[in-house]
Copies of this chain bind each other. A is one copy, B any other.
Amino acid sequence: MADPASGELRPAIERMPVSRIRDVANEAMGMEGLIPLWFGEPDVATPDFICQAAADALSQGETFYSPNRGVPDLRHALARYTSELYQVPVADDRITITASGMSGIMLSHQLLIEPGTNVICATPAWPNVQGTVDVLGGEFRPAPLKFTGSGWQLELETVFDAVDDNTRAVFINSPGNPTGWVMPGDDQKALLAFCRERGLWLLADEVYARLVYDRSHAPSFLEHAGPEDRVIVINSFSKPWAMTGWRLGWLVTPARLGQRLEMVNEFNLAGAATFTQIAGITALRDGEDFIARQLERYRSARSAVYERLSANPRIRIGWPEGAFYAYFAVDGIDDGLAFCKRLVREHRVGLVPGSAFNAAEEGWLRLCFASQLDTLNTALDRLEDAIAS
């Protein structure tokens, strides 16, 4: 796409590639009857009790600036939540509230990345990880996961080989978007040992930590790291509590980063909204039933979508251990972007091509199954028509 601003902004900004998700979504402008399974978002609104907590905080005048690292009661609640979930002690001074997981990624990279440095990232990965590195003028180095036939695997050598003297961090998103890959605890330990040895930071995007189906939570780097290790865990209220539109997340870091995080949080946007943070306390306290109900729905959706897709001899798909995406390749499709555009235009289903996620191979597609079963089945009918045509 031609950029009319050419030449007047930073070169790093001018050469950033346009989002392929948006490129596909543009095909759908004004279209009726489209089934959009492209965004990573629960299909239900935030539960009433959380909305009510925000409304109550608003009516109580909680509309002033919050401290730069966040409302102390929320930081305390998150420290407790984290300690209980992982059975490791996490102190309040290790928690920083951010205005979304996205902001948490940007802040973490701002601490570490500048021109001349690089970050290694397991891919395919959410494109916004690379986006933040691009904005900061650093180098994004993919460490591709391997498709084993039944699922995804990160060979640690792939990461180790990508590291050089300018590497500042390794970025791992597990459970992973788009693959649903869950990094085994033993691999986490080995990667942490490597990062310790090399003085690298480990940036762990664990926003899908609760969206796993065969255990209470995904393995976390917090289960292996000490409080002073160079580990930053990025998390968010968006997915488990269906709060995507709220912009509320948090970081768990060594306490010694607190002062610098206070500063970069202030210089980016001075934190999440005060009443939103207060609603977050209620979400943590009363949200477990909601999470359990959503997981039950996603579990059924996962099985239904997986069964239909894996039954198609032209489709390769891994069993998604976590998150809420089916990620699959269709034999014969070698331009995923073109296929997704046609799928929207002719079959009214919205998916995202794997190329949006820095996939090593063409032809992969992501479908978000956080939706109703009948909607998903209609979408799969249409997808099968598109593949057959």
Contact = CB atoms under 8 A, between A and B. Distances in A.
Interface of A: 1, 3-5, 8-10, 12-14, 16, 18-19, 22, 39, 41, 45-46, 48, 51, 54-55, 58-59, 61-66, 99-100, 102-103, 106, 110-115, 117, 128, 131-132, 134-137, 199, 201, 230, 242-247, 254, 256-257, 259-260, 262-264, 266-276
Instruction: Give 10 closest A-B pairs by Cβ, nearest first.
Output: A45-B61, A131-B267, A245-B274, A55-B55, A51-B58, A46-B63, A103-B269, A4-B256, A63-B245, A64-B245
A128 B266 contact: yes
Contacts of A100: 269-270
A10 B113 contact: yes
21 contacts: A5-B259, A8-B201, A8-B230, A9-B257, A18-B259, A18-B263, A19-B263, A45-B63, A46-B61, A54-B55, A55-B55, A64-B244, A99-B269, A102-B266, A103-B268, A115-B115, A128-B267, A131-B267, A135-B264, A137-B137, A245-B274
Contacts of A65: 39, 41, 244-245
A63 B39 contact: no
A289 to B, nearest CB: 18
A269 B54 contact: no
A77 B33 CA distance: 29
Nearest to A12: B114
A64 to B, nearest CB: 5
Q: Which of A14, A45, A242 has the most CB of B within 10 A?
A: A45
A109 to B, nearest CB: 10
Nearest to A10: B114
Contacts of A254: 5
Nearest to A129: B267
B64 A263 contact: no
A237 to B, nearest CB: 11
Given A10-B114, A58-B54, A102 B63 contact: no
Given A110-B135, A260-B13, A63 B244 contact: yes
A102 to B, nearest CB: 5
Contacts of A115: 114-115, 137
Contacts of A99: 99, 247, 269
Given A13-B110, A114-B12, A242 B63 contact: yes
A48 B16 CA distance: 42
A156 B59 CA distance: 47
B111 A10 contact: yes
A102 B58 contact: no
Most chain B CB within 10 A, of A16, A243, A267, is at: A267
A272 B247 contact: yes
A268 B268 contact: yes
B137 A268 contact: no
A136 to B, nearest CB: 8
A389 to B, nearest CB: 31
B243 A63 contact: yes
A262 B61 CA distance: 32
Contacts of A46: 58, 61, 63
B110 A260 contact: no
